[in-house]
């Protein structure tokens, strides 16, 4: 354990210290260790309000950071922060990425290719079968399946991915020592062997209803796109879809029976043009350029990144950019840019969208 890391743990336990205040503390003090020991007046200069300062002062008096760290080890949980290279790349790109992630199991570079499969807890026979087929198909194509461990569609998606020999990540709305729902304990344990349990809530946090909507931003943030199988218009699955749209990620929806309440959300997403209608896993693979993940994984491993690739990645976004404009902005020879783009396409990092225009492949 680095000494600095335990202060990330401490501030994450303090109420009213979210991503914005984490950034403010880092900017003001240079480290969270310095912020933890700073006088109250100095905390105010970092933009903390009275209640947040009171919470920090109380935590410093009551918490033993060494004891809190020992609890993580006792539950086989490790901590990732924004500063860790292992922090999930896709999630880190989101504006609302949590400063701290609690992880049980292992996250992997393979999880750069991940898709969320979420839906109602009260799944129909149709919804259950569709979730099973989609999660199985994704796993067979080396795509990590992300969901929320809930009853219904979530649990089916996790189990299907595991049964297919794939990876899956479950994002919890409680501490990782408090598995909810309790009947998914065995499933949660299996997930830690072929993926990971993830939460931004400290150990001991109970599964209160208000915890679940915010955790959905992590489900969508970990993924290239989110598949909504079934869900009413005010469901948690629809909250995941909203977060995905805000994060600039793709949303897919399975069309459902128009007379069934839990198809209202998915059908509305399609009707409003907010989600792409899908009929099979192939639709997802094509839209996200995921039909060659195994080859792209190998290419990433054998062809290292270089300065040219890094420069190209900084310049590209979801908006198409022509190779000539890319060359001009990068101030590099056209042959070097062209060669880099060809290799980056093989790695699944960029995608050509016609007419020598390129976008980031996510």
Average pLDDT over residues 272-279: 97
Q: Cβ(74)–Cβ(104) under 8 Å? A: no
Q: Cβ(340)–Cβ(308) under 8 Å? A: yes
Judge if 225 and 336 occupy the same domain.
no
The predicted pLDDT at position 293 comes to 64
Final residue in a domain of this structure, among 263, 287, 311 = 287
Q: Cβ(220)–Cβ(244) under 8 Å? A: yes
Judge if 127 and 28 occupy the same domain.
no
Judge if 281 and 298 occupy the same domain.
no
| pLDDT band at 97; cut points 50, 70, 90 | very high
Q: What is the pLDDT of the chain when averaged over all its residues? A: 92
For 321-356, letters b (16+ CB in 10 Å) and e give bebeebbeebebeeeebeebbebbbbbbbbbbeeee
pLDDT tens-digit map of 293-341: 655 655 555 455 688 888 898 898 878 899 999 998 898 999 999 999 9
Judge if 144 and 239 occupy the same domain.
yes
User: What is the Cα–Cα distance from 255 to 79, expressed in whole angstroms?
Assistant: 39
The predicted pLDDT at position 145 comes to 98
| Domain ranges, residue 309 | 293-360
Residue 23: is it exposed, middle or buried by C-beta count within 10 angstroms (0-12/13-18/19+)?
middle
| CA 30, chain centre distance (Å) | 27
The predicted pLDDT at position 298 comes to 56
User: What is the Cα–Cα distance from 319 to 18, expressed in whole angstroms?
Assistant: 30
Judge if 162 and 268 occupy the same domain.
yes
pTM of the predicted structure, to 2 decimals: 0.82
| pLDDT band at 347; cut points 50, 70, 90 | confident
Average pLDDT over residues 271-289: 95
CATH number of the domain to which 253 belongs: 3.40.50.450
User: What is the Cα–Cα distance from 28 to 46, expressed in whole angstroms?
Assistant: 6
Residue 355, pLDDT above cutoff 60: yes
SS3 category, 277: strand
What angle, rounded to 10 degrees, do the helices at 293-302 and 334-346 form?
A: 130
pLDDT tens-digit map of 109-162: 899 999 999 999 999 999 999 999 999 999 999 999 999 999 999 999 999 999
Residue with tokens 């008096």: 61
User: What is the Cα–Cα distance from 352 to 356, expressed in whole angstroms?
Assistant: 6
Judge if 58 and 121 occupy the same domain.
no
Judge if 20 and 152 occupy the same domain.
no
Across 82-96, 268-282, 286-300, the highest mean pLDDT is recorded for: 268-282
Q: Is residue 95 part of a domain?
A: no
The predicted pLDDT at position 3 comes to 82
The predicted pLDDT at position 362 comes to 57
Q: Say which range, 86-90, 165-169, 185-189, 306-310, has the weakest mean pLDDT.
A: 306-310
Q: What angle do CA 193, 133, 146 make, to 5 degrees?
A: 40
Judge if 297 and 209 occupy the same domain.
no
Average pLDDT over residues 82-92: 93
Final residue in a domain of this structure, among 66, 86, 118 = 66
Judge if 265 and 189 occupy the same domain.
yes
Average pLDDT over residues 342-351: 84
Average pLDDT over residues 339-354: 85
User: What is the Cα–Cα distance from 190 to 195, expressed in whole angstroms?
Assistant: 9
Q: Cβ(276)–Cβ(283) under 8 Å? A: yes
Phi, psi dihedrals of residue 333, rounded to the nearest 5°: -60, 145
Q: Is residue 349 part of a domain?
A: yes
Q: Is residue 71 part of a domain?
A: no
Phi, psi dihedrals of residue 46, rounded to the nearest 5°: -90, 0
The predicted pLDDT at position 334 comes to 92
As for how many domains the chain has, the answer is 3
Residue 73, pLDDT above cutoff 50: yes
Q: Is residue 97 part of a domain?
A: no
CATH number of the domain to which 348 belongs: 1.10.10.10
Q: Is residue 182 part of a domain?
A: yes
Final residue in a domain of this structure, among 66, 92, 113 = 66
Q: Is residue 229 part of a domain?
A: yes
Average pLDDT over residues 66-85: 96
| pLDDT band at 19; cut points 50, 70, 90 | very high
Percent of residues, the chain, with pLDDT higher than 70? 95
In 3D space, the residue among 191, 124, 174 whose CA is nearest the CA of residue 152 turns out to be 124
Judge if 135 and 279 occupy the same domain.
yes
The predicted pLDDT at position 82 comes to 96
Q: How many CB atoms lie within 10 A of CB 85?
A: 6
Judge if 111 and 224 occupy the same domain.
yes
The predicted pLDDT at position 1 comes to 44
Judge if 283 and 297 occupy the same domain.
no
For 69-80, letters b (16+ CB in 10 Å) and e give beebeeeebbbb
Q: Is residue 235 part of a domain?
A: yes
The predicted pLDDT at position 350 comes to 86
Q: Where are the beta strands (DSSP E) in the chain?
A: 78-81, 100-105, 114-118, 144-147, 168-171, 195-199, 225-228, 250-253, 276-277, 321-322, 350-352, 357-360
Average pLDDT over residues 237-248: 96
Q: Cβ(143)–Cβ(175) under 8 Å? A: no
Strand-strand pairing, 144-147 and 168-171: parallel
Q: Is residue 86 part of a domain?
A: no
User: What is the Cα–Cα distance from 126 to 83, expressed in whole angstroms?
Assistant: 43
């Amino acid at each position: 354990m680095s000494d600095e890391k335990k202060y990330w743990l401490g501030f994450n336990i303090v109420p009213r210290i979210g991503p914005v205040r984490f950034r403010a503390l880092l900017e003001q003090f240079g480290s969270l260790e310095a912020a933890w020991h700073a006088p109250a007046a100095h905390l105010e200069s970092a933009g903390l309000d009275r209640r947040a300062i009171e919470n920090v002062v109380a935590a410093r008096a009551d918490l033993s950071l060494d004891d809190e760290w020992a609890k993580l080890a006792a539950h086989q949980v490790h901590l990732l922060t924004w500063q860790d290279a292992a922090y999930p790349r896709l999630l880190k790109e989101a504006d609302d990425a949590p400063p701290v992630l609690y992880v049980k199991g292992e996250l992997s570079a393979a999880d750069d290719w991940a898709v969320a499969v979420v839906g109602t807890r009260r799944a129909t026979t149709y919804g259950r079968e569709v979730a099973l087929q989609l999660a199985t198909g994704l796993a067979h194509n080396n795509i990590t399946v992300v969901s929320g461990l809930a009853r219904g569609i979530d649990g089916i998606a996790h189990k299907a991915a595991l049964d297919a020999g794939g990876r899956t990540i479950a994002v919890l709305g409680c501490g990782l020592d408090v598995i909810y729902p309790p009947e998914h304990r065995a499933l949660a344990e299996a997930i830690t062997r072929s993926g990971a349990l993830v939460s931004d809530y400290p150990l001991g946090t109970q599964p209160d209803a208000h915890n679940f909507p915010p955790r959905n931003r992590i489900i969508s943030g970990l993924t290239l796109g989110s598949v909504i199988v079934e869900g009413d218009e005010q469901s948690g699955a629809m909250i995941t879809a909203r977060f995905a749209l805000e994060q600039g990620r793709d949303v897919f929806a399975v069309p459902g029976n128009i007379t069934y309440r839990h198809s209202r959300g998915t059908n509305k997403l399609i009707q409003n043009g907010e989600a792409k209608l899908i009929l099979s896993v192939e639709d997802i693979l094509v839209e996200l350029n995921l039909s060659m993940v195994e080859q792209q994984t190998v290419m990433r491993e054998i062809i290292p990144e270089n300065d040219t690739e890094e420069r190209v990645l900084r310049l590209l976004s979801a908006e198409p950019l022509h190779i000539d404009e890319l060359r001009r902005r990068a101030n590099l020879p056209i042959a070097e840019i062209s060669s880099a783009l060809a290799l980056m396409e093989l790695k699944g990092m960029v995608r050509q969208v016609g007419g020598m225009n390129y976008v980031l492949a996510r």
